[in-house]
């Protein structure tokens, strides 16, 4: 997606999203079946419900239409990032301190491509994972993907 569209959507809707008590997590744009989909991921402490997403969708849609941010037909979807939330920015890591994460690397480290552990610290350049028996420090630039990896009760 063009950074300009992403930035425009975030700029136009960020205050409304925060005003409803949510945090804008990400904006995605994708062409599917010839249609443009704009997906806005929102979250807050304790998570979001389907009703939260529906309310946010209505208000965000009004703002995008009034401001004519997209400039062409689109389908708007507002959703939760889910329990396996993707971590992208250092701020995402910092907000997830104390939670279990799964990290996939760009290149293997000590013969392994991925690690799961508890995120204990997140700085500007790197973060630390407690693997149970050792503490591993990784630079953000070495990470291909990182997601929350909660231990679910079932």
Residues 98-138 pLDDT 10s: 999 999 999 999 899 999 999 999 999 999 999 988 999 99
Per-domain residue ranges for the chain?
3-79, 90-148
For residue 93, give every residue at least 6 positions away whose Cβ sits within 8 Å of its Cβ, in sequence order, or none: 87, 119, 122, 127, 140, 146
Rg of the chain on CA atoms, in Å: 18
For residue 23, give every residue at least 6 positions away whose Cβ sits within 8 Å of its Cβ, in sequence order, or none: 17, 42, 43, 44
129 contacts 87 by C-beta, under 8 angstroms:
no
Q: Exposed/middle/buried for 119, CB within 10 Å: 0-12, 13-18, 19+?
A: buried
Cα 50 from chain centroid (whole Å): 17
| Alpha-helix runs per DSSP H in 46-139 | 50-67, 90-95
Q: For domain 3-79, is the CATH number 3.30.300.70? A: yes
pTM attached to this predicted model? 0.74
Topology classification of domain 90-148: SH3 type barrels. (2.30.30)
For residue 29, give every residue at least 6 positions away whose Cβ sits within 8 Å of its Cβ, in sequence order, or none: 1, 2, 5, 6, 36, 37, 38, 39
Q: What is the pLDDT of residue 2?
A: 52
**pLDDT (average), residues 28-37:** 88
Residue 1 confidence class, pLDDT cut points 50, 70, 90 = very low
Q: What is the pLDDT of residue 154?
A: 61
């Amino acid at each position: 997606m063009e950074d300009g569209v992403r930035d425009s959507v975030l700029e136009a809707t960020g205050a409304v999203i925060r005003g409803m008590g949510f945090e804008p997590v990400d904006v995605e744009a994708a062409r599917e079946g010839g249609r443009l989909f704009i997906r806005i991921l929102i979250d807050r402490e304790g998570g979001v419900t389907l009703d939260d997403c529906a309310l946010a969708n209505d208000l965000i849609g009004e703002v995008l239409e009034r401001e004519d941010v997209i400039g062409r037909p689109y389908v708007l979807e507002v959703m939760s990032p889910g329990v396996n939330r993707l971590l992208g920015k250092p701020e995402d890591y910092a907000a997830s301190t104390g939670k279990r994460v799964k990290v996939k690397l760009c290149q293997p480290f000590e013969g392994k491509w991925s690690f799961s552990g508890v995120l204990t610290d997140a700085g500007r350049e790197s973060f630390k994972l407690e693997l149970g028996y050792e503490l591993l420090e990784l630079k953000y630039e070495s990470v291909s993907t990182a997601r929350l990896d909660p231990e679910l009760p079932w």
